[in-house]
Amino acid sequence: MGTIETGGRLRRRTGLAVVAATFAALWLLAPGGGQAWAASASAGDSLVGSQAGLSVSKQLVGDTTEPYTGMDTPVYQYTLSDAAGMSVQILTYGAIIHAIDVPDRLGQPADVVLGFNSLGDYVANNSPPVTANGGPYFGEVLGRYANRLAAGKFTLDQPGAGPVTYTLPVNDGTSSLNGGLVGFGNHVWADQEVQGPGYVGVQLTLNSPSGDEGGPAGSPGCPNGCTGYPASLQVVVTYTLNDQNELSVSYQATNQSPNLNTIVNLTNASYFNLAGENAPAGSAYGQEVAINGADYTPIDGNQIPLGQEASVLGTPLDFTTPQSIGSRIDDFGANFNAPGNQLAFAHGYDFNWALNPRTPGTTGPGGLNLAARAIDPGSGRELSVWTDQPGVQFDTANLLNGTLTGISGDTYRQGAGYAFETQHFPDSPNESSFPSTILDAHQSLSTTTVYQFSAPSLSVSAPATGTAATAIAPGSIGATLSDATSNASGAITYTVFGPQPSAPTNCTTGGTPVGTATVSGSGAYQPSGGYVPPSAGTYYWYASYSGDAGNQPATSGCGAGMTSTVVSASAPVHAITLSRLSLSAHKISVAGRKVGGRCVTPTPKNTTDKQCRLPIHLAVAYRLSAGGSVTFTVHREVAGRKVNRSCVAPTRKNKRDKQCTRLIKLHGRLIKVGKAGANRFVWNGAIGGRELGPGTYEITATPAGGSPQAATFTIVG
């Protein structure tokens, strides 16, 4: 009771999922420290600490007015560095992630988060008060309540007082956004360097008083006055970096009031562009994103959740498989499984995804659940976001319109970056079906998100080892050679050596070119062309990559694990046998008997048994001599007449015509991909969208490059 759910998703009895939010809004403070700062150290820098490959340093960057005290307060920048070439710059103003420098696949670093070049720019532009355009909140910690609260109101049960309604400044249409006018991003946080086994970091602390964001009638955003947030709250945010290029953000919030409950939703609003924050306008739209969520929380025209979840399947919000950001961002007329034009409401992507429950395949650092992944095909940089929160707000910075200048002096527009704000759902205090964001008196909560960066080097996969039964024929290289993989645009060239008794000592000269593959971004590629070996023997395959200017070539090498043995140059690449067809329970029906309330096969008969329909399925087993695709077609036997030796439909009858059975092809087919050896699949007995009825059927399996094999089966009903 009274604690925030930070782990698995909760659901009401109605089956709707439940969670909380993202995003922030703050008041324009008196500007200070208008100078720009550089990433390199200056005479005023101090080395705080270091350990094997890791270091943390602290630098004064200016001062600004702290709203809680009204006093000028110094602002520092901490720089965390690891041995892998990654560094992170964090400001004590707003607990802002100012820069993240990450190497690409060639080891060249670039800053991958949007931001400003000076403290004065952050103070003036990052989270201003009520404006037509709002603020971008670049890199801030958002609070006390990230994301939107409808009408700036919420109601809490308070000890001894019952339900109490609280009001906040309205700073985003009809909503209170990201904490209000002076959210956590507009304060100077207390700082302390931290170190531990394998990490360095900084711990930032802010004390938010009871009544924070309150104001008298007529004050900005509060025409009738605002109560502000109840209870005194201490927030501690700890940033740490390790040598695995993992930036961990841990949040701890403690309600210090003895008799007041409050609400809390914390996140970070860093906007990423893995090509670099100074990449060309719109470059983020070409990057691929996957989100570990099958549902989202639809919104209304004011971007307030409707209080329900909807499936992303069949909508432009389906990122269950990687999709480029820009491929569907303007598909305003699509289906959204929810009322209204969702993309138009948000002006792009700005939605909360309800994360799928954690599985072994989505478990990451510290046992956290995968929230999202992103990749930039050009640089090879990849980002994985891991969290214990139930939701993530994917926001494509839709309001950037060219009025803001970034760290490198470039103008930020739409397509400049995107955020993954791990969180509870928006407007949770006003939606009982969402996970609770209530923090009871004298209670604490903690939550962690990890941003994991990588840039896999260019590589080409080695061919698979052949077997004595493997044969090579025209068009069959793909069945013998493993798919080649590349992380950038370019080409892969395949070469074969042999037959010869041992691997070549030099793969770059000699050999026979047998095909190429054009590659574009991350993926697996088969070679074009084919190769007919001149004789039986052992052959060695070689694959080499050449790509974009500046990219280093990569090869598969030419050693063990790259052989294919040819038994006979004329041997077929594929051979298939249909091992068996079997019937068992599934969707089609056959006659059965109801015994003891169950429908069973009609072996025992009893006068008291009732006839019933027994569902069945077909288990199809087949064997391939080499892996590849197999097309299954189904024919049905029907009565016919033999006319001039042909069995035709019985449209006319003649005494000289003999009865016969003819096969008609059913509309539709099944395509399966199998590996060399035994394969099996279970089929529901439907073809072309229709279930098969009683009768005799023939199923034909035709492998790519091989001869068909057929088997018959009968459905009795």
Tens digits of per-residue pLDDT, 506-522? 777 778 777 777 766 55
Contacts of residue 502, defined as CB under 8 A and 6 or more positions apart, other chains included, come to none
- Span of 278-282, 311-315, 374-378, 574-578 with lowest mean pLDDT: 574-578
**Do 443 and 532 reside in the same domain of the chain?**
no
Cα–Cα distance, 10 to 351 (Å, whole number)? 19
Number of domain units in the chain? 3
Q: ∠ CA(178), CA(179), CA(183), 5° rounding?
A: 100
* 562 and 583 share one domain: no
How far is C-alpha 378 from the chain's CA centre?
19
pLDDT class of 135 with cuts at 50, 70, 90: confident
> Could you tell me if 555 and 589 lie in one domain?
no
**Lowest-pLDDT choice from 30-44, 359-373, 413-427:** 30-44
> Taking residues 10-28, what's their average pLDDT?
23
461 domain residue, yes or no: no
Give whichever of 44-58, 72-86, 398-412 has the largest mean pLDDT: 72-86
Question: Is 703 found in the same domain as 610?
Answer: yes
Q: Per 3-state DSSP, what percentage of the chain is helix, strand, and coil (rounded to 5)?
A: 5, 45, 50
pLDDT class of 610 with cuts at 50, 70, 90? low
Alpha-carbon gap, residue 175 to 171, rounded angstroms: 6
Phi first, then psi, for residue 197 (nearest 5°) are -60, 110
Distance from C-alpha of 383 to C-alpha of 454, rounded to nearest angstrom: 7
pLDDT tens digit sequence for 552-573:
444 555 544 455 555 444 444 4
Q: Are residues 30 and 106 in the same domain?
A: yes
Q: Decide which of 548, 566, 584 is a domain's last residue.
A: 566
Question: Are 536 and 676 part of one and the same domain?
Answer: no
Write phi, then psi, for 365 (nearest 5 degrees): -55, 135
Grouping H, G, I as helix, E, B as strand and the rest as coil, residue 525 is: strand
Tens digits of residue pLDDT in 323-361: 999 999 999 889 999 999 999 999 999 999 999 999 999
Domain shared by 344 and 481, yes or no: no
Residue 463 lies in a domain: no
671, 630 contact by CB (below 8 A): yes
- For residues 227 and 408, the answer to whether their CB atoms sit within 8 Å is no
CA distance 272 to 40: 22
For residue 608, what are its two tokens? Answer: 């008291």
What's the 3-state SS for 669-715? CEEEEECCEEEEEEECCEECCEECCCEEEEEEEEECCCCCEEEEEEE
Q: In whole numbers, what is the pLDDT of the chain averaged over residues?
A: 79
Q: How far apart are CA 443 and CA 578, in angstroms?
A: 65
d(CA 26, CA 181): 4
Instruction: Specify the pLDDT at position 184.
Output: 96
For residue range 101-120, list pLDDT tens digits in order: 999 987 899 999 999 999 99
Dihedral of CA 36/38/39/45: which sign? negative
Kindly report the backbone phi and psi dihedral angles of residue 121, in degrees, each rounded to the nearest multiple of 5, phi listed first: -65, -40
Indicate the helix (H) or strand (E) that contains 346: helix 342-346
What is the C-alpha separation between 125 and 25, in angstroms, rounded?
A: 11
Q: Which amino acid is at 692?
A: L
Tell whether omega for the bond before 144 is within 30 degrees of 0, i.e. cis.
Answer: yes
Residue 423 — φ and ψ, nearest 5°?
A: -170, 175
Instruction: Tell me: do 408 and 491 sit in the same domain.
Output: no
Does 56 share its domain with 178? yes
- pLDDT over 70 (residue 392): yes
* pTM flag (> 0.85): no
CB atoms within 10 A of CB 365: 14
Quote the CA–CA distance of 321 and 328 in Å, as a whole number: 14
Could you tell me if 545 and 413 lie in one domain?
A: no
Q: Regarding beta strands 382-387 and 444-454, do their DSSP bridges make them parallel or antiparallel, or are they unpaired?
A: antiparallel
413: helix, coil or strand? Answer: strand
Specify if 645 maps to a domain. Answer: no
For residue 390, which of 437, 348, 430 has the smallest C-alpha distance?
437
Would you say residue 651 lies in a domain? no
- Tokens 């910690």, residue located: 141
More confident residue, 639 or 113: 113
Residue 428 lies in a domain: yes
Helical H segments across 475-634, by residue range: 477-480
Domain assignment present for residue 120? The answer is: yes
Rounded CA gap, 178 and 78, in Å? 24
pLDDT surpasses 80 at 218: yes
Which of 566, 584, 616 delimits the end of a domain?
566
Arithmetic mean of pLDDT, 570-594: 51
Q: How far is CA 26 from CA 31, 144, 412, in A?
A: 14, 11, 20
Question: Which residues does 112 contact at the CB level (< 8 Å), separation at least 6?
Answer: 100, 101, 102, 272, 273, 274, 275, 276, 277, 381, 383, 453
CATH number at residue 224: 2.70.98.10
Whether 493 and 604 share a structural domain:
no
Tell which residue, 272, 58, 264, has the closest CA to residue 149: 264
In a domain, 466, yes or no: no
Query: Which residues on adjacent β-strands are paired with residue 595?
Result: 598
Q: Note down the domain range covering 683.
A: 576-636+662-715
Is residue 385 predicted with pLDDT exceeding 70?
A: yes
pLDDT tier at 708 (50, 70, 90 boundaries)?
confident
> What is the rounded distance in angstroms from the CA atom of residue 167 to the CA atom of residue 213?
9
- Residue 38's pLDDT band (cuts 50, 70, 90): very low
β-pairing verdict for 576-595 and 610-624: antiparallel
**pLDDT tens sequence across 258-306:** 999 999 999 999 999 999 999 988 899 999 999 999 999 999 999 999 9
Under a CB-based contact definition with an 8 Å cutoff, are residues 268 and 97 in contact? yes
Work out the pLDDT band at 699, boundaries 50, 70, 90: confident
What is the token pair recorded at 506? Answer: 């030099």
pLDDT at 80 over 60: yes
CATH number of the domain at 709, please. 2.60.40.4070
Could you give the CA distance from residue 507 to residue 490 in angstroms, rounded to a whole number? 20
Q: Cβ(242)–Cβ(196) under 8 Å?
A: no
Q: Are residues 57 and 109 in the same domain?
A: yes
pLDDT in tens, 451-507: 999 987 655 443 433 332 333 343 343 334 444 555 556 677 777 777 777 777 777
Tell whether the model's pLDDT for residue 70 goes beyond 90. Answer: yes
Is 231 contained in some domain? Answer: yes
Neighbours of 83 (CB within 10 A): 14
Report the Cα–Cα distance between both ends of the chain, in Å, rounded.
58
137-196, pLDDT tens digit by residue?
999 999 999 999 999 999 999 999 999 999 999 999 899 999 999 999 999 999 999 999
What integer pLDDT is reported at residue 520 of this predicted model?
60
CA distance 91 to 97: 7
472 CB-near residues (< 8 Å, 6+ apart): 480, 531, 532, 533, 539, 564, 566, 573
Please state, in angstroms and rounded to a whole number, the distance separating the CA atoms of residues 244 and 241: 8
Residue with tokens 């792009």: 348
Confidence of residue 622 (pLDDT cuts 50, 70, 90): confident
Determine which of 47-51, 62-66, 317-321 has the lowest per-residue pLDDT on average: 47-51
Residue that finishes a domain, picked among 566, 596, 620: 566
Residue 443: CA count within 13 A, CB half-sphere: 16
**Amino acid in position 550:** G
